[in-house]
Amino acid sequence: MDKFRIEHDSMGEVKVPAEHLWGAQTQRSFENFRIGVEKMPEGIIRAFAVLKKACAEANRELLPEKMTEEKLKAICAACDEILAGQLPGEFPLSVWQTGSGTQSNMNLNEVVANRGNQIAGKKLLHPNDDVNMSQSSNDTFPAAIHIAAVCEIKSRLLPALSGLIDEFDRLEKENEGVLKCGRTHLQDAVPIRFSQEISGWKALLERSREQIISSLSSLSNLSLGGTAVGTGLNAPERFDILAAEKISAATGHAFKTDPNKFHSLSSQDEAVFGHGALKALAADLMKISNDVRWLASGPRTGLGEITIPANEPGSSIMPGKVNPTQCEAVTMVAVQVMGNDTAIGFAASQGNFQLNVFLPVIAYNYLQSVRLLADAMESFRKNCVSGIKPNVEKMTENVNKSLMLAAALNPSIGYENAAKAVKLAFEKNITLKEAVVELGLLSSDEFDRVFRPEDMT
C-alpha cells in the first residue's frame, strides 16, 4: 500500500508520496500537468541549486536576523547534495507547466527546505520564507536559464567544438599537397587542394565558436533582485549584486546583475541572440556533414573522393553496404536545433507587460540544442572525421577529367576559344588537350607549357 504524508500550501492540504522530499505545490503541478514526457532539464535543476545557495549566502550577509547561520548551513548542505546528483528523483515536473516556471522554483524550494530540515533534525526551514527569501519565481527562472546556458556551453559545447576544430586542423596539415576538383552549383569547377577545402570547414567552426563566445556576455546578465515585476520588492539593497557575485564564485564563470530588471523579467532577447549563434553552428555542421557524405558517396558509382570509417552495417538487405551514418546523425541534430531556434524566437516574443510566460520551453529547447550539438560534434569527430582518408587516385582522375580546367587557358587563348574547346571535348568525349589541338588553338607542346592545374590553386 502506498504511503503518503500530508503537506499544505495556501490552497489547503495535499497528499505527497512519503518517500519524496517535495511538497504541496510540486505535487499539485505533478498531478495537474501530465503533458508529454519532457521533464525540466537537469541543467536548470543544477542552476537552481547554485542560485538557491548563492541567494542564501547573500541573505546571510544582508538579512542576518532572518537568514541565520543555522539556516544557511542547512540550505547549503541540501543544495550541495543536489549538485552532487544525490537527489535525482526529486524533480519530476513537466516542461509543460506554468509559463513562469513557478512550480519548478517551488519544487527546488520544497526539496531544499525538507532536505535541510532532515539535515538539521528539526523544522527549521520554510520553502517560501527561507529558501525563496528575497526572490520570486519571476526573477529566479530567467536567471536559472542564463546560468544553465553559460555553464553548459562552457563545460560541454565549447570543448566539443574545439576538439572538432583541432581534428580538422590535423586533417588539413596531412593533406596539404593533395589536388582535387572544386565544385560549385554541384558542377565541376576549377581545382582546389583538399587541404584548402578542409580549411574552409575548420574556419566555419572557428567563426561559430567566436559567435557563441560573444553571446556569453549578454547571457551573463542575471535577473535576480527584480523579484515579482522588476521593482525588487522584498529584496534588500545590493542583493542583486551580491547574489551575482556568489554565483560567479560558485560556478567559476563571471555573472553580473542586469542593470534593468524590467527588461530581464519580460525579455528573452539574450536567449534569442545566444541560440542564434547555436543555429549558425548547426548550419555549418549541416554543410560540413553534407560535404563529407557527398565526397564519400559511392564507393564506386558516386564521387568516392574520400573514405570514411565503416562503423556498422548499412543495410538489412544489401550485404557489405556502409552508410555515412555519423553525417546523417549530425544533420538530424542540425534540423532539430533549427526547429528549436524557431520555438525560442516565438516564445521570446511573448513578453506581455512585466513577464514572459514561455520560460520553460525556452529553457528546454536551449539546453537541448547545447547538449545535442556537443554530443553530435564529439561523435562526428571520434567516429567519422578522425578516419577521413583521401582517395588520391580518384581525386587525380576527376581533376584530369574536369573540363573546367579550361579556365587556365583563358590568358593564352581567351575565354571564348576556351569555351569552344570545352564544348568540343564534351561533345566528342575527348580530352581538353585534344580539343584545343584539334581546333588549332595551341600545339601539343604549347598546351603542356601553359596548362598546369597545380598552379591554379
Provide the pLDDT for residue 121: 98
How many structural domains is the chain composed of? Answer: 3
Q: Decide if 18 contacts 5 (C-beta within 8 A).
A: yes
Catalytic residue among 8, 20, 126, 185: 185
Q: Are residues 387 and 415 in the same domain?
A: no
Q: Are residues 129 and 204 in the same domain?
A: no
More confident residue, 9 or 378: 378
Q: Confirm whether 54 is domain-assigned.
A: yes
Q: Which of 343, 367, 393 is the last residue of a domain?
A: 393
The CATH number assigned to the domain holding 433 equals 1.10.40.30
Provide the pLDDT for residue 24: 97
Task: Work out whether strand 351-352 and strand 4-9 pair parallel, antiparallel, or are unpaired.
Answer: unpaired
Q: Are residues 104 and 196 in the same domain?
A: no
Check whether 1 has a pLDDT greater than 60: no
Provide the pLDDT for residue 328: 98
3-state secondary structure of 187: strand
Q: Decide if 92 contacts 39 (C-beta within 8 A).
A: yes
255-313 tens-digit pLDDT: 999 999 999 999 999 999 999 999 999 999 999 999 999 999 998 899 999 999 998 88
Q: Decide if 388 contacts 306 (C-beta within 8 A).
A: yes
Provide the pLDDT for residue 2: 72
Q: Confirm whether 255 is domain-assigned.
A: no
* Catalytic residue check, 386: no
Q: Are residues 170 and 318 in the same domain?
A: yes
User: Which phi and psi (to 5°) does residue 192 adopt?
Assistant: -150, 150
181-204 tens-digit pLDDT: 999 999 999 999 999 999 999 999
Q: Are residues 368 and 419 in the same domain?
A: no
Q: Which of 133, 160, 177 is the last residue of a domain?
A: 133
More confident residue, 408 or 69: 69
Provide the pLDDT for residue 104: 98
366-417 tens-digit pLDDT: 999 999 999 999 999 999 999 999 999 999 999 989 998 889 899 999 999 9
Which cell numbers in the block locate residue 223? 535577473
The CATH number assigned to the domain holding 178 equals 1.20.200.10
Band of the pLDDT at 457, cuts 50, 70, 90?
Answer: confident
Q: Are residues 314 and 416 in the same domain?
A: no
Check whether 76 has a pLDDT greater than 70: yes
Average pLDDT (127-153) is 98
| Dist. CA 172–CA 170, nearest whole Å | 5
Check whether 348 has a pLDDT greater than 80: yes
Range of the domain at 160: 144-220+261-393
Q: What is the DSSP letter of 130?
A: I
Check whether 17 has a pLDDT greater than 90: yes
319-342 tens-digit pLDDT: 888 899 999 999 999 999 999 999
Provide the pLDDT for residue 219: 98
Q: Are residues 175 and 292 in the same domain?
A: yes
Q: Are residues 430 and 376 in the same domain?
A: no
Q: Is 4 left (phi over 0), alpha (psi -120 to 50) or beta?
A: beta
| Dist. CA 106–CA 291, nearest whole Å | 48
Q: Confirm whether 246 is domain-assigned.
A: no
Catalytic residue among 8, 214, 315, 443: 315
Amino acid identity at 35? I
Provide the pLDDT for residue 322: 86
Q: Are residues 28 and 162 in the same domain?
A: no
* Catalytic residue check, 315: yes
| Dist. CA 240–CA 254, nearest whole Å | 14
Task: Work out whether strand 221-222 and strand 256-257 pair parallel, antiparallel, or are unpaired.
Answer: parallel
DSSP calls for 32-101: H---SSPBPPHHHHHHHHHHHHHHHHHHHHH-TTTS-HHHHHHHHHHHHHHHTT--GGG---BSSS-TT-
Average pLDDT (88-109) is 98
Check whether 455 has a pLDDT greater than 90: no
Provide the pLDDT for residue 49: 98
Q: Which CB contacts under 8 angstroms, 24+ apart, belong to 336-342?
A: 336/368, 336/369, 336/372, 337/278, 337/279, 337/281, 337/282, 337/369, 337/372, 337/373, 338/279, 338/282, 338/283, 340/275, 340/365, 340/366, 340/368, 340/369, 341/275, 341/276, 341/278, 341/279, 341/369
Provide the pLDDT for residue 344: 98
Cβ within 8 Å of residue 222, ≥6 positions away? 143, 146, 147, 240, 243, 244, 247, 255, 256, 257, 258, 264
* Percent of the chain clearing pLDDT 90 (strictly above): 91
Mean pLDDT of all residues belonging to the chain: 96
